[in-house]
Amino acid sequence: MLRMLRYLGGKLVRRRLSQVADEYLSRCEQCYRTQRETLSRILALNATSEFSRQHGLNASLSPDDYRLQIPVSDFELVRPYVEQVQRGFTSALLGANNPLLMFALSSGTTAESKSIPITKPFLDDYRRGWNIWGLRFFNDHEKANRLDIVQLTSDYEQFHTSGGTPCGNISGLVTSMQSRIVRSMYTIPPEVAKVRDTEAKSYINLRCAMANEHVGLITTANPSTLIRWAQLANEHKETLIRDIHDGTIHYAQSIPGEFRTVFTKGHFRPNRSRAKWLENLVQQTGQLTPGDFWPHLQALAVWTGGAVKHYLPSMRKLYGNVPVRDHGLSASEGRMTIPLEDETSSGVLDIGTHYFEFIPEAEYGRSNPVVLGAHELELGQDYYILLTTTSGLYRYDIRDVVRCTGFYHQTPMLEFLHKGAHISNLTGEKLAESQVVNAVHHASRELHCEVGCFTVAPVWGAPPHYRLHTERLAEGVSAARLAKAIDCQLINSNCEYRDKRESQRLAPLEVITVPQGTWQAFRHDRLQRKGGSLEQYKHPCLVPDLDFSEKIATLSGLSKASVAAPHFLSVDHAARMHTHHGVEHS
């Protein structure tokens, strides 16, 4: 009854949001004009800041004049000003009408974690983008309107700066601002984000979500998170069912004391009928699989582009062949695209939120590269994307490589390919992470097997070569056979790699297995060293580090010799539910 009343009341809200979305998307008909207006708005908003005064920035600048005032930059351009903002001197970077709300912590994929200012206008734009995404999704999936949502978020108050500003994840801030009606759609209470222990948090999230049979949409950034959930469901099925039956919480000691009362209400009350249903499911099938214990699931919302596409086949097997809607290209620094359809990572460029510039991939790294506006992109071409945002980033090189896949009216549609930093170049082959992911994907299809979580890294030798590290191989598929299939795919997809292999400047790729638990230790080590949250973590499928194998050996407790020489192992794949050991991020 409550879900039906919420659905009927939500129709009015959706009608109002539809008008806002249609009006916003209509601006895509005039891409150049909208981008000029966006640039002027951003420059005007921060015109009174110390940064703007020192760099001659004001709303009257044309795009050409703006490029003369500010070079293509990284975070170091604004770091001194951000540090002043952290101490409470917001006027160093932000205008008087641009109030600071928090700092978002970047994932630290290519560098140390950075603190990105999140302001009120930035948050308003961010929420509008999600509203448009959500509206299009729920219009396309009518049944989902009558069901509940499982969303994983991180805390926006992990700590505070010396000036008293919270630091954490922007998704947590958005969740904290939801109305009670909107909040009623979500299965997991926001207080779970306060749990610091990552394994405890994963369990509590799953325990809460499993108690609800009316889940229609699951949304998190990385599909590997959902694969890990499926593993947890089976590893802890007895404990989960008992907790749901009794209204208890395993890992309760990990919950901050001031929030424990929340966990005794609503979502965590005893649910004996649900527990009995899950127990019967285990008796019938021998396991708990998400596609079975969430029979009403309508869709999954995860990233699908770049390296994470490797996880999608395993995710679909576990959750059922339901539609997948990509989140869009986004980061702590800003939201870049809004996907409007299922089963594609491509989305329309969010031209009313940030000012965008693009460097053609062939021009990147030159002292004076060609820089294009959004309206100048060409179908099928690849670009590095630059951001200018209301939160004080100017011509910021986020090092994302994107491809123009088409146009929505006059505005480009983009898909994420890979991080520019995830390119390895031993002998001129310029091997990209996206090429590695595609090669593994096609090789696994060719051999009718699944490859678990993996990382490819260069290994020096005479000649050097690439090595794929994985925790297990599918039964019946040898490492040598898989390595040959992947190597052939790389030869076919990268002409420079083919040239170096034919000239024997590169030896064939090899595949080795590392002990179970290696990727968990690797994830923990990177988060400890670089910062960022668990949900933001991005497992690298290509690392251009010649010492990677030795570092993995140290983390996994192996001797250097045992990794230096390939050791090919076979693991009982069926006994592990045809899943792989994934890692999480947002």
Domain boundaries, the chain: 21-120+326-419, 142-322, 423-556
Find out whether 451 and 312 touch, Cβ atoms under 8 Å. Answer: no
pTM of the model: 0.83
| Tens digits of pLDDT across the chain (586 residues) | 567 667 666 677 778 888 889 999 999 999 999 999 999 999 999 999 999 999 999 999 999 999 999 999 999 999 999 999 999 999 999 999 999 999 998 754 444 568 999 999 999 999 999 999 999 999 999 999 999 999 999 899 999 999 999 999 999 999 989 888 888 899 998 888 998 888 888 899 999 999 999 999 999 988 888 988 999 999 999 999 999 999 988 887 777 777 777 666 666 889 999 999 999 999 999 999 999 999 999 999 999 988 788 789 889 999 999 999 999 999 899 999 999 999 999 999 999 999 999 999 989 988 899 999 999 999 999 999 999 999 999 999 999 999 999 999 999 999 999 888 778 888 888 899 989 999 999 999 999 998 889 999 999 888 899 999 999 888 889 999 999 999 999 999 998 899 889 888 899 999 999 999 899 889 888 877 766 666 667 789 999 888 999 999 888 774 344 444 433 332 223 223 332 323 233 3
Alpha-carbon distance of 121 to 388, in angstroms, equals 14
What single letter denotes the amino acid at residue 177? M
Alpha-carbon distance of 408 to 558, in angstroms, equals 52
Residue 397 exposure: Cα atoms within 13 Å on the Cβ side: 22
The predicted pLDDT at position 5 comes to 64
In DSSP notation, 41-90 reads HHHHHTTTSHHHHHHT--TT--HHHHHHHS-SB-GGGTHHHHHHHHTT-G
The predicted pLDDT at position 412 comes to 98
Distances (CA, A) of 15 to 135, 181, 279, 315: 9, 16, 42, 33
What single letter denotes the amino acid at residue 277? W
Q: Respond yes or no on whether the N-terminal peptide bond of residue 458 is cis (omega within 30° of 0).
A: no
The predicted pLDDT at position 538 comes to 79
